[in-house]
Amino acid sequence: MKTLYVKDLQASMNLTNEGFAIKSVESAQTKDNKPYYKLILIDKTGEIKAQIWSDSLKRIERKALQAGSVILVDAIVEDYRGTLQLNIFNAQRVDETSLEEYMESSPFKVDELWEELMQYVKDVKSDEIRNFLNKIFDDTDIARKYKTYPAAEFVHHSFRGGLLEHVLEMLDCSKPLKRFYPIANFDLITAGIILHDIGKLTELEPVGVAVQRTTEGYLIGHLIKSYELILEKGGDLSEETMLNLKHIVLSHHGLLEFGSPILPATIEAVIVSYLDQLSTKARIFQKLIKRSSGGTQIFTEFDRIAGAKIYLGNIIKEQAEEGMLL
């Protein structure tokens, strides 16, 4: 039975036979050309980086170092530039039937989030758009995946139920905007939010406890797959509605260099795009803060995706007041 989780880890802890799942693994070489491994380990409470240095490799079961595997590790928790990481001395694969212990997931109950999503669909005023959304979710395979799939491999909401949580964040954040932007069509915004990442149901695939990109994901990507789904299911939509939804999906990354083939050119598209950025960036910051919890540095390392070092001073102060820091 697993008793120690990522959220419990503190600097200088010694771990013995503690179980974690491998989210990703990469072989590398030091400046002295010595081999080592870089891993990201996860459980249901979060993730942590880990290294296996060359002098420990003889004690490692190499076949165990596969994304999706569950391993038992002997390791020490180190504070590296304000971020906790594991230095692994020993690792072996285990047959673990209680995978839910190792799968990071939404802290919310999926069924409750799903009910909230269905209420948003029900509240759509346009019969045309509401019927279209219902038609999509009448597909049991789409509904099943939408409930449980992640929103990304690594960057944000990269856990079980992550896509659904990401969409609900955006929908909830859109509600106050109705007061200030009455000219916008919020039925289109609601549908655009629900559909903007639906292509990730074919772009990504959970394998064990890891998330992998599919062949279609590499060769086509979720923007085009979302676009294709609208074409496939939207035969009853008017030409204008179809055009607007396709535009929202294709432009929601906001910038050409971020992968959108076109920039937002409607008020609905720009609202969806910035709500997506808000949910994504805030979640990245939260993940970096959680990953650095228990450390002593007041800034995280520079993160390429966040584009900044994240200030942790208030977090460290709160942990010190609660007696979490030694």
- pLDDT value at position 312? 82
Distance in angstroms (rounded) separating the CA atoms of residues 259 and 271: 18
pLDDT beyond 80 at 280: yes
Contact criterion met (CB below 8 Å) for 28 and 38? yes
Output the six-digit token pair for 133. 């959304």
pLDDT beyond 50 at 326: no
- pLDDT value at position 325? 47
- Average pLDDT of the segment spanning 75-91: 89
pLDDT beyond 70 at 299: yes
Is residue 3 classed exposed, middle or buried when 0-12, 13-18 and 19+ CB atoms within 10 A define those classes?
A: exposed
- Average pLDDT of the segment spanning 95-121: 79
Instruction: Give 184's DSSP letter.
Output: S
Distance in angstroms (rounded) separating the CA atoms of residues 44 and 34: 33
- pLDDT value at position 175? 96
pLDDT beyond 70 at 197: yes
Question: Which residue from 179, 164, 148 is spatially nearest to 279, judged by alpha carbons?
Answer: 164
CATH of 6-101, one of 3.40.50.970, 2.40.50.140, 3.40.50.300, 1.10.3720.10: 2.40.50.140
Q: Flag the least confident range among 22-31, 99-108, 132-141, 142-151.
A: 99-108
CATH of 110-284, one of 1.10.3470, 1.10.3210, 3.30.200, 1.20.1260: 1.10.3210
Q: Which residue has the higher pLDDT, 103 or 18?
A: 18
Amino acid at 47: E
DSSP string, 42-63: EETTEEEEEEE-GGGGGGB-GG
Question: Which residue from 105, 108, 114, 37 is spatially nearest to 71, judged by alpha carbons?
Answer: 37
Could you identify the residue written with the tokens 């990522």?
6
Mean pLDDT (the chain, rounded): 86
Pairing of strands 70-80, 46-52: unpaired
- Average pLDDT of the segment spanning 19-34: 88
SS3 36: strand
Distance of CA 234 to CAs 134, 136, 240, 274, 278, Å? 11, 9, 12, 25, 28
Please write the tens of the pLDDT for every residue from 157-196. Answer: 767 788 999 999 999 999 999 999 999 999 999 999 999 9
pTM strictly above 0.75: no
pLDDT beyond 80 at 305: no
Distance in angstroms (rounded) separating the CA atoms of residues 204 and 40: 18
- pLDDT value at position 153? 65
pLDDT beyond 90 at 230: yes
Domain spans of the chain? 6-101, 110-284
Distance in angstroms (rounded) separating the CA atoms of residues 232 and 203: 17
